C-alpha cells in the first residue's frame, strides 16, 4: 500500500518558480549586454576615399564605350588598267599631295596604244587641214566665177538699156535690140544660179569640215583616253593627306579596280565608339559626347548610329568639335561618353 509523501508538490512548484526567475534574470542580462554594444564598422584607408560636398543639381545619364579615331575623308586609289607593279616610291605614313607619285606600273600594251592614238590624232589633224585648204580654194573659185558672171550680167544689162534708146531713135535694128535683151536675161539667170551655187558651196564647205572635225574629235578623245591610261601607270593620289596603306608589292600583277593605295586627311578625324547594345537604345543623333584621347578630352556630337549590332555592340560615329589634342592620329584608341 502506497503512503502519500507530504510536501512533494510544494517542492516541485518552488523549483519551477526558482528556475523561471533565474531564466528571466539571464535573459535580461543578455539583452542589456547586447544593447550596450556599438555596431561593428568596416575600416578603410583614408587615401583610398574621395571626399566631397553633397550638392543639389541635375543628374546626367550617360553611356560609355571604347573606340578609335578614324579619318572622315578617305580615298582609295584603284588601278585603271592591267599592269605590273614596277616600283613603290612612297611608304605609308608619308605626307602626299596630288602631284606625288606613289608607285609606277608597267603595261607595254597601254604604251603602244597611246602611241597609236597620238599618230591617229596627227593624221586626222593633217586630213582636216588639207580638206580645209581644198574647200577654201574651191570656194574662192566659185566666188570668182560668180563675180565674173555678175560683171557680165551688169555689162549686158547696160548694153540692153543703151540699145533700147538707140532703137527708139532708129539707130539699130529690132533684132539687134532683142539679141542684147536676151543676152542680158540669160546672164541674169546665170547670176542668180551662181549666187545660189555660192551659198550651197559655203554650206557644203561647213558640212565637210564639220564631218572631218568630228573624226578629228573622235581621234582626240581616243588619244586622251589612251593618254589617261598611260598616265595612270604612275599612281598619284586624288587627295592631299597621309598615305595610310599600300596593299600591293613590287612585281605584283594588278587588274582594273584593284586597290593600290589609301590616302586620308589626318586633320579631319571622327570617333567610332562601340557601345553595348543594351545601352545604345537611348542614343540619338545630335546628343553631346566627350572623347578622351588619353592626351585630352574633345567635345563632340553623335553623327550616326549603326542600324545593326555586331558582337554585342553598336557602332556610333561622333564628330569632333574643336582642335585635336597633340598626337591624335587615325586608329588611336579612345574612350567616349555620350550624354543621354
pLDDT tens profile 73-119: 899 999 999 999 999 999 998 999 999 999 999 999 999 999 999 99
Q: What is the per-residue pLDDT for 53?
A: 73
Q: What is the mean pLDDT of the chain?
A: 85
Q: Is 100 left (phi over 0), alpha (psi -120 to 50) or beta?
A: beta
Lowest mean pLDDT among 6-10, 137-141, 200-204: 6-10
The dihedral over CA atoms of 263, 268, 269, 270, expressed in degrees to the nearest 10, equals: -120
- pTM, two decimals, is 0.59
Residue 32: is its pLDDT beyond 80? no
Would residue 37 count as lying in a domain?
no
Give the residue from 262, 279, 311 where a domain finishes.
Answer: 262
Residue where a domain stops, chosen among 231, 249, 281? 231
> How would you label 82-100 residue by residue, b for 16+ Cβ within 10 Å and e otherwise?
ebebeebebeeeeebeeeb
Between CA 197 and CA 71 the distance in angstroms is: 69
C-alpha closest to that of 318 among 292, 339, 288: 288
Name residue 85's beta-bridge partners: 105
132 and 144, same domain (yes or no): yes
CB 230 within 8 A of CB 82: no
Same domain for 278 and 246: no
The domain tally of the chain equals 3
Domain co-membership, 191 together with 153: yes
Is the domain of 201 the same as that of 144?
Answer: yes
The answer to whether residues 276 and 297 belong to one domain is yes
43 occurs within a structural domain: no
Same domain? For 99 and 240 the reply is: yes
pLDDT in tens, 157-207: 888 888 788 878 777 888 887 888 888 888 888 888 888 888 888 888 888
**CATH number assigned to the domain comprising residue 227:** 1.10.287.620
Q: Examine the domain organization and report whether 68 and 209 are in the same domain.
A: no
Verify that 277 and 316 share a domain, yes or no.
Answer: yes
Domain residues for the domain of 271 are 62-73+266-339
Residues 142 and 162 in one domain: yes
Let me know: does 84 contact 251? Beta carbons within 8 Å.
yes
99 with 114, same domain: the answer is no
C-alpha cell of residue 203: 554650206
**In degrees rounded to 5, what are phi and psi of residue 330?**
-60, 145
Residue 318 clears pLDDT 50, i.e. is over it: yes
Residues 90 and 143 in one domain: no
Q: Same domain for 202 and 154?
A: yes
Is 114 domain-assigned?
yes
- CATH number, position 311: 2.40.30.170
Residues 6 or more apart from 292 whose CB is under 8 A from it?
334, 335, 336, 337
Strand order in the sheet with 253-254: 234-235, 103-106, 83-88, 253-254
- What pLDDT score was predicted for residue 1? 46
Say if 56 falls within a structural domain. no
Residue 336: band (very low, low, confident or very high) from pLDDT cuts 50, 70, 90: very high
Phi, psi of 24 (to 5 degrees): -65, -40
pLDDT at position 39, please? 53
Amino acid at each position: 500500500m502506497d503512503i502519500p509523501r507530504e510536501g512533494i508538490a510544494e517542492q516541485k512548484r518552488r523549483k519551477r518558480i526558482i528556475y523561471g526567475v533565474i531564466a528571466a534574470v539571464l535573459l535580461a542580462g543578455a539583452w542589456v549586454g547586447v544593447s550596450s554594444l556599438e555596431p561593428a564598422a568596416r575600416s578603410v584607408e583614408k587615401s583610398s576615399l574621395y571626399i566631397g560636398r553633397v550638392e543639389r543639381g541635375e543628374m546626367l545619364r550617360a553611356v560609355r564605350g571604347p573606340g578609335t579615331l578614324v579619318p572622315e575623308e578617305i580615298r582609295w586609289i584603284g588601278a585603271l588598267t592591267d599592269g605590273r607593279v614596277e616600283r613603290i616610291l612612297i611608304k605609308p605614313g608619308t605626307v602626299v599631295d596630288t602631284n606625288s607619285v606613289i608607285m609606277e606600273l608597267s603595261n607595254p600594251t597601254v604604251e603602244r596604244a597611246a602611241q597609236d592614238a597620238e599618230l591617229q590624232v596627227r593624221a586626222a589633224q593633217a586630213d582636216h587641214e588639207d580638206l580645209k585648204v581644198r574647200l577654201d580654194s574651191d570656194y574662192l573659185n566659185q566666188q570668182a566665177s560668180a563675180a565674173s558672171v555678175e560683171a557680165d550680167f551688169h555689162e549686158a544689162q547696160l548694153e540692153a538699156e543703151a540699145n533700147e534708146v538707140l532703137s527708139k531713135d532708129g539707130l539699130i535694128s529690132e533684132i539687134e535690140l532683142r539679141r542684147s535683151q536676151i543676152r542680158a536675161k540669160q546672164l541674169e539667170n546665170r547670176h542668180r544660179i551662181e549666187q545660189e551655187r555660192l551659198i550651197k558651196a559655203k554650206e557644203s564647205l561647213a558640212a565637210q569640215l564639220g564631218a572631218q572635225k568630228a573624226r578629228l574629235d573622235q581621234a582626240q578623245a581616243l588619244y586622251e583616253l589612251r593618254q589617261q591610261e598611260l598616265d595612270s601607270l604612275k599612281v598619284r593620289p586624288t587627295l592631299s593627306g597621309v598615305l595610310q596603306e599600300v596593299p600591293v608589292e613590287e612585281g605584283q600583277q594588278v587588274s582594273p579596280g584593284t586597290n593600290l593605295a589609301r590616302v586620308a586627311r589626318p586633320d579631319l578625324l571622327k570617333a567610332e565608339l562601340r557601345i553595348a547594345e543594351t545601352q545604345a537604345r537611348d542614343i540619338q543623333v545630335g546628343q553631346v559626347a566627350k572623347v578622351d584621347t588619353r592626351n585630352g578630352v574633345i567635345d563632340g556630337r553623335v553623327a550616326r548610329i549603326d542600324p545593326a549590332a555586331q558582337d554585342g555592340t553598336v557602332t556610333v560615329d561622333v564628330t569632333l568639335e574643336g582642335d585635336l589634342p597633340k598626337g591624335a592620329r587615325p586608329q588611336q584608341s579612345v574612350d567616349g561618353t555620350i550624354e543621354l
